[in-house]
Structure 1
Amino acid sequence: MVLDFEATTPAGHPPQPIEVAALALHYAAGRWREVGRSTSLIRPPAFAPVTAATTALNGLTPQQLATAPPPDQALAVLDQRFTTGARYLLVAHHAATEANLIYHQREHCPTLAHINLIDTIPLAKHLVPGLDNYRLDTLLAHFAIPRPADRHRAYADVEVTAQVFMRLIDAADRDGALEDLAGLVTIAGRTAKANRPTQQELFEL
């Protein structure tokens, strides 16, 4: 499943989600098939208001988010799309951002919080070496994928991230650069923070 968040970054607090979009993909018989999608605005807490800089980046305004569901409701709905015990991977561009947002909201999306991630940046660096950088816009240009007019909205970014991911996997198939899922995880995998072992205290009192 390809995932993207938009967020605010309040001083003294971790980033707070204000929009989420997810696109579920299944690969079979040599082709990708979309099997579901979800998108929701999210009302941020009072300590994380939408700033003018956030609005300039993605167009989201405080008025748009005033009646959106809060994080516990929006993320619980998303979490229900995952079947407990089924195997998933989350795909994101610069997956550390999504990993941190999910971890800090893990009480609202416990199933999602335990799904490991694939980051398209190290995957692209491995499969398409030599680019000036590996920003999403750079990869869109490289693969001749049109830049959406509403770039930086979650639903638009998840759509083009999915296209980049599919192009990368197709390139890997053609070149034999990846043999299996284990190879993909080795190159671009990121363990969900909720799955990482908890560091024990050096001394127990």
Structure 2
Amino acid sequence: MGALTDDPALREMTFVVIDFEGTTPTRRPPQPIEVAALALTYGATGGWEQVWAYESLMKPPPFAPLTTADTHQTGITAAMLADAPSAADAMAALDAHLAQGPYLLVAHHASIEGNMIYHRQEDCPVLAATDLLDTIPLAKHLLPELENYQLDTLLRHYGVTRPLDRHRAMADVRVTADVFGCLINEADSAERLRTLRALTTVARRRAKANEPVQQDLF
């Protein structure tokens, strides 16, 4: 343990690692076809503890059908989505898990997850109002020598096994959680970031639902 993981604010926080897989319709925002989330706290005895996990496939809307390229990327097939719940139902079920805070979401390239959530905010208002931590700027701050900050590069750097089902939501959540844990250990050992506030200064991404709305000028 170090200064960061001894910070009471970090100990009280629940970190929800989240990932989406989706389709990319022309001239429309990406549409989710799978979501996974893993809620973690840093335990009193040292080390990460799982609080809850959630994953669900989602049936895409007619304007954003699953493509061959989507299946090649994710392994998700049309048959797997045939009986999947709607995005509205799946996201509402995920939102119901966020009953007690405080929470921060954690994602790799968090703007992607943030946009997915923002466009479904009516179905998941608590989730949509939860800020994110992005592992990319955190890694850039702690590991300035890396050639790039793709998730696979960070997996290799930390010796985390690349899962066979990489690009399925829960597989990506679990390895992102591993990388996040490694980055927290890095910050702890080097005492580069000593508090949760310092961590969020480096890596926080405001939830789009929390951003001020620009009013029309008259």
State the TM-score, normalized to the length of structure 1.
Answer: 0.97
Paired residues for 1:25-174 under 5 Å: 25-29=40-44, 30-83=46-99, 86-174=101-189
Matching residue within 20, 28, 31 for 1:13: 28
Tell me which of the two structures has the higher relative contact order, counting C-alpha pairs closer than 8 angstroms and 6 or more residues apart: 2
CA distance in 1, matches of 2:186, 2:43: 17
Letter in 1 for 2:157: H
Q: Deviations over 1:19-56 (max 9, x none)?
A: 00000100122211111101000000010000111111
Gaps of 5+ in 1: none
The equivalent of 1:176 in structure 2 is 191
% identical aligned pairs:
57
Distance in 2 of aligned mates of 1:70 and 1:150 = 23
- One-letter code of the match for 1:63? A
SS, match of residue 140 in structure 1? helix
**Structure 1 position 78, deviation (Å):** 0.2
Q: Deviations over 1:168-197 (max 9, x none)?
A: 001101110111111111100000000001
1:45 counterpart letter in structure 2: P
2:35 is matched by which residue type in structure 1? V
Paired amino acid for 2:51: V
Alpha-carbon offset, residue 201 of structure 1? 0.9
The CA distance in 1 between the partners of 2:145 and 2:68, in whole Å, is: 36
The letter of the residue matching 1:59 is: G
Query: What is the number of equivalent residue pairs in this alignment?
Result: 202
For 2:12, the equivalent position in structure 1 comes to: none
Equivalent-residue separation in structure 1 for 2:217 and 2:202 (angstroms): 32
Q: Which residue is equivalent to 2:10? A: none
Distance 2:103 2:31 in 1: 24
* CA–CA distance in structure 2, aligned partners of residues 170 and 43 of structure 1: 38
Q: Give the aligned CA root-mean-square deviation in angstroms.
A: 0.8
TM-superposed CA distance for 1:83, in Å, is: 1.3
Post-superposition shift, 1:200?
1.2
